Structure 1
C-alpha cells in the first residue's frame, strides 16, 4: 500500500501523492478491520454451535460445561469450552474452517492441513493445503493453562465446523481433532477417569467457574444442573 502512495507521489507530485497514500492506507485499514470483525464473528458462530452440541450432555447432571472463559482477567485470550464429566476434564477449542467442500487432514510430514482438494493454492499455502499446526499447538497450550490452574489432567480436543475432518477424527501431538457433529459421541466414548463422581464433576466446575471468569461473547457462560446458564452477554 505504501508503494502505491509512492507511485502516486511520483506521478502527481508530493501533495497529491500524500493524499493518495492516505486514501490507500485508510482503505487498507478499513479492509483489515472488517476482515478482523468477520473472522471474530465466524469464530463466535462456531463456538455457539459447539455450545448447542454440548448442551444435551448436561441435562442429567453428569456433565458440567463452561463456555468462553478468560485465561486471566488481564488477558484477552479465551478458553472456548471446558467440559467435566466421567472422563475427567476436557478442553474443546472450536474452529469454524471453510465450507463442506474443504478438508482437514494430516500431510506427509505429519502436519495438520486444511484446504480444498484440487483447488489452486494461493501464496503462503504449503504443499496441498494450509498448515494448521499452530491451531493444534495453541489448543494444547490452552489446555495446559487449565491443567495448571485446576491441578488435574486435561485432555485437548479441536472441534471443527464447516470443513470435513478426514475419517471424522484425527489424533495428532496429543490433540484430538474431530468433526464437531461427532463431539458428544467422542466425549461419551472416552475412558472413565477414576474418582470423577458426580460430586467431583460439579465441585471442579465451580472451582473453574471462579478461576476463569466469563468473557463477553454472547455464548452462555455456564451450563450445568443447579448453575446459571444466562445468555445475556456471556
Structure 2
C-alpha cells in the first residue's frame, strides 16, 4: 500500500511536505536548478536522499493509520500528525485515547526488511546500526505530550517491514512491536472501560494537540 509522492493526508502529510520543501530549497534559482538537473549539486543529492527518507516515513504513518482505523469503531479516539507543545520540529505520528482513558503515542517506523530490529545493552538496533535516537525521540515526545495533556503517556514504536526480534520487545520501557501486532497490543494494554474519563481525555487531547502544520 505505497502512497504516491506528494499525496497529502492527515497521517504522514507533514513528513512528505517537509521533504519536498528541502528539495525545492536545494533547487531555488536557475543556477541551482541547472546544477541539480546535471547531477552536479551535492546539496540537491542530499535533499533528494532526505526527501526519500521523509517519504518512507510518511508511507509508514499511512500504513499505521490504516491499521488503526478499526479502533475508531470500538470507542478509541485516533489522531494523526499532531503538534506537540514545546517541540519546535517534533510531531506526534499517532495519538490514541482508549475506551479505558489511557493515552498512547505511537511512532511509526518503516525500515529495511534486510536487517532485524532488536534490543542490545539497552539500545535499539537495526542490523548493525544503532537506532537509539529513535527511542530517545519518542520518549522526549511522550514526556512533552504528558505535560501538555496532564496524564501519563505510553509511547510505542510500530515497526513496518523490518523483522522484530521475538515478535516484540521493550527498550527503556518503550514497546517495539511489528505493526501487524499493534492493535492487539494496544487493546491488550487498555484499562477497564471508563466512558467519562475517555471523553474528558479525548477533549483535552484534541484541544492541546492540534494538527501539525510543519
User: Do the two structures share a fold, i.e. TM-score over 0.5?
Assistant: yes
- In the TM superposition, structure 1's runs of 4+ consecutive aligned residues that sit over 3 Å from their partners are 23-26
Between Structure 1 and Structure 2, whose CA radius of gyration is higher?
1
- TM-score w.r.t. structure 2 length? 0.76
Name 2:5's counterpart in structure 1: none
The answer for the alignment partner of 1:210 in structure 2 is 207
Contact 1:87 1:190 in 2 (8 A): no
SS in 2 for 1:188: helix
* 2:30 matched residue in structure 1: none
What residue is the counterpart of 2:79 in the other structure?
A: 66
State the aligned residue count: 178
| Corresponding residue for residue 106 of structure 1 | 119
Q: Per the alignment, in what secondary structure is the counterpart of residue 164 of structure 1? A: coil
Q: Aligned residue for 1:187?
A: 186
Q: Deviations over 1:104-148 (max 9, x none)?
A: 0122x3321102xxxxxxxxxxxxx10011101110110111110
- What's the CA shift for 1:36? 1.1
Superposed CA RMSD? 2.3
Deviation sequence 1:13-45 (CA, Å, 0-9, x none): xxxxxxxxxx69952111111011111111011
Partner SS for 2:196: helix
**Where does residue 7 of structure 2 map in the other structure?**
none
Gaps of 5+ in 1: 1-22, 116-128, 218-234
Counterpart Cα distance in 1 of 2:87 and 2:191: 35
**Matching of residue 200 in structure 1 with residue 197 in structure 2:** yes
Structure 2 gap ranges (5+): 1-34
Q: Deviations over 1:151-199 (max 9, x none)?
A: 1111110001110110111111111111011000001111516xx6123
Q: Which has the higher contact order (CA 8 A, sep 6+)?
A: 1
